[in-house]
Amino acid sequence: MQALARFFGTVMVAGLFASAYAQTEAPGTWGSKATMGMARTETGAAFAGGKLYVVAGGLAMAESSTLVQEYDPKTNRWRERAPLPMALSHAGVTALNGKIYVVGGFLKNVHLYAQPYAFEFDPARNAWRTLP
């Protein structure tokens, strides 16, 4: 968690974010990192295997999405990963034992149409599965 706390900071622009900042080795000093390439809002994020995963959320023209992006702090690069099985926003996202878990969420940013589903992402296989 300390690595995630040191990495992730965002700049908010009209409720959407695409910029990222990381704390440098000098306490209290921050530096910019590669942009996500696409402004997003209402995402979930988790840190697993030394990488940051930003999952689902709203896009400029969509209230929810299946977009999954992975940031590698060693290379300072983002890449897209396998899409989430369904479009969501406000989903709960966490990591455990190297896998990413997504629980619940909504279909619309205004907290409409709550979803009862749970998904597991295996970064090594770049694959999702629906949990029972």
Q: Looking at residue 18, what is its pLDDT? A: 64
Q: What is the token pair recorded at 81?
A: 């990963």
8-28 per-position pLDDT tens digit: 443 323 334 567 767 777 777
**Cα Rg of the chain (Å, integer):** 14
Kindly tell me if the per-residue pLDDT of 5 is higher than 60.
Answer: no
Q: What is the pTM of this model?
A: 0.82
The stretch 40-50 carries a mean pLDDT of: 92
